Amino acid sequence: MDRASFSEVLHFIDGERIASVDGSVIGNIEPATGEALGTIAAGGQAEVDLAVAAATNALPDWASSSADTRGQLLERLAAAIEDRLDDFATAECIDNGKPITAARQIDIPRAAANLRFFAGAARYQQDECYRTRLPDDDLWNVSLRKPIGVAGCISPWNLPLYLFTWKIAPALAAGCTVVAKPSEVTPVTADLLAKAAQDVGLPAGVLNIVQGAGAAAGAAIVSHPGIAAISFTGGTETGASIASVAAPSFKKTLLELGGKNPTIVFADADIDQALEGAARAAYSNQGQICLSGSRILVESSIVDSFTERLVERVSSMAIGDPLEETTEVGALVSSEHLQKVENSLQVARDEGGTILCGGERCAPAGRCSGGFFLSPAVVIGLDSGARTNQEEIFGPVATIIPFDDESSAIEIANDVRYGLAASVWTGSVDRALRVSERIEAGTVWVNCWMKRDLRTVFGGVKESGLGREGGAESLSFFQEPTNVCIRFDSKGPDSTDE
Ligand code: NAD
């Protein structure tokens, strides 16, 4: 892929890729090398005003087009991504630091799948209709689903195009026009998507992308009176601030936030599978997934042998240039984030924890010697209440916490302010169901992790979020239902009842 295509990331407003009104830019750094990749147009109020005006203008035609027309355009956009899968995957790998295999096998196929899924889901969305017979009346109640208006979609850096499309696809399929903002840390694939949108002939103004910092472009989207709803994925503190800005104007918000998710391993589990599952859950994407299983709860009778094997497995993970096919662990997303994860490890030491392996800077020699690499760490010796077990680290750091029985496992699992996901490893169906029901989380996986069917609900409880995405939930977030109650004469003119 030609790196020149990264050198200038632009906004996409009213069908055109444009610079900021005042020409301002911010820098974009390659995580694997620490070197400059290029510049990003830095948007703010002026660019958001332009984007909202374009989206408002495009709304009547887009909202009144058929689900099939919209679906066909989304499918063409999906095909454009699939046709350039390698370019998109390479761009994601370079911009984010994630291994190329993950970008090629997970991120980019999922981005295309999001567009295809919602293209289909909108076509098959069911409308509600109730016949209501009363003693003196006969009524039909019909629910109309109207697109809510111009939608604001804001996404994070960890799964850049995957989560960007997870938001814009249902909004567009539901008939909304969109003003979206990818993370300023990983803006490149959204810019490639803008080019693809031009290529497939998405009407101007239907999808607008404002690039730039959260405090400028993001805040301007959230507070804009022309935007009816905000779908946000990112950190819990940012989510709280967005909710406080949106609430006074009753703007609809969907918030997908942070997690501190438990992986719970019972002694009756298939231990080989549980071990591999726990390792994948903790360290995939360098531990930078909201669903990461960063607390590994292990039944006391097997905790010593499990810990020994996990350390062995984690220590053998291939850390390297994200562009290499063999790399399992790539770079953290930025030098600031690397520093934040290192600070968390210092907190773990200060609290009396023991780091059994990892937690060291480990940039590979050569091209990546200036990159932001940290070896995956396993921490033991800390109570559930320790900061290390309470705060989201969002890096390649997992703790092991022993438990004695099912009740204490559930108690520890729920002993955090978050409630996004959990994975439970057991050979007993009864236990799996008992535990799943009592865990406070939006998603519980049993004997697996991060398996997704896009029809299922997705979201968090407690401080992990508000609302649900997935299938019908995603579509209905972007719609405003109106019930139309029609009284009709069911008896006809010849009736002698009246
Ligand atoms: P972040 O909250 O810093 O940023 C997310 C997005 O919000 C970015 O585009 C950013 O520019 C923007 N933003 C920042 N401040 C804003 C403001 N005041 N107003 C409007 N927009 C603003 O999060 P991040 O560091 O990019 O991502 C990591 C976090 O995201 C982690 O906490 C992770 O758990 C969470 N996350 C959650 C999910 C989920 O589905 N629940 C998925 C992925 C990541």
My answer on whether 337 and 198 are in the same domain is no
Ligand 1 surroundings by CB, under 6 angstroms = 154-158, 163, 181, 183-184, 213-215, 218-219, 222, 233-235, 238, 241-242, 256-259, 290, 392, 394, 420, 460, 465
Average pLDDT, rounded, for the chain: 97
Whether 457 is covered by a domain: the verdict is no
Express each pLDDT in 68-124 by its tens digit: 999 999 999 999 999 999 999 999 999 999 999 999 999 999 999 999 999 999 999
Task: Name the percent of the chain lying above pLDDT 90.
Answer: 96
Q: Are residues 435 and 384 in the same domain?
A: yes
Per-residue pLDDT of 188-220, as tens digits, reads 999 999 999 999 999 999 999 999 999 999 999
Q: Where in the sequence is the domain holding 432, given as residue range(s)?
A: 262-446
313 and 172 assigned to the same domain = no
- 488 domain residue, yes or no: no
User: Quick one: which atom of ligand 1 is closest to the CA of 469?
Assistant: 40
Question: Are the C-beta atoms of 17 and 191 separated by less than 8 Å?
Answer: yes
210 and 280: one domain?
A: no
Is the residue at 490 inside a domain?
no
Any residues with CB less than 8 A from the CB of 127 and at least 6 apart, and which?
142, 143, 144, 145
Helix H or strand E encompassing 28? strand 25-29
- SS3 label, residue 387: helix
CATH number of the structural domain spanning residue 412: 3.40.309.10
Same domain, 108 and 235: yes
On whether both 33 and 75 belong to a single domain, the answer is yes
Whether residue 162 has pLDDT greater than 80: yes
What does the pLDDT look like over 268-322, one tens digit per residue?
Answer: 999 999 999 999 999 999 999 999 999 999 999 999 999 999 999 999 999 999 9
- pLDDT tens digits, 351-385: 999 999 999 999 999 999 999 999 999 999 999 99
Domain match, 233 and 320 both: no
Q: Is residue 208 part of a domain?
A: yes
Do 238 and 386 fall into the same domain? no
462 Cα–ligand 1 center, Å: 17
Q: How far is the CA of 365 from the centre of ligand 1 (A)?
A: 32
pLDDT at 495: 76
pLDDT for 497 equals 58
Structure tokens of 439? 């865990």
Are residue 241 and residue 318 in the same domain, yes or no? Answer: no
Whether 290 is in a domain gets the answer yes
Q: What is the DSSP letter of 491?
A: S
Give 4's pLDDT tier (boundaries 50, 70, 90).
confident
Within-domain flag for 334? yes
CA of 178 to the centre of ligand 1 (A): 18
Helix (H, G, I), strand (E, B) or coil at 424: strand
In this predicted structure, the answer to whether residue 177 has a pLDDT above a threshold of 70 is yes
Tell me, yes or no, whether 416 and 475 share the same domain: no
Total count of domains within the chain: 2
> What CATH number corresponds to the domain at position 164?
3.40.605.10
**Do 101 and 188 belong to one domain?**
yes
pLDDT at 481 over 60: yes
- 385 and 476 in a single domain? The answer is no
231's tokens: 């779908």
* Secondary structure (3-state) at 38: strand
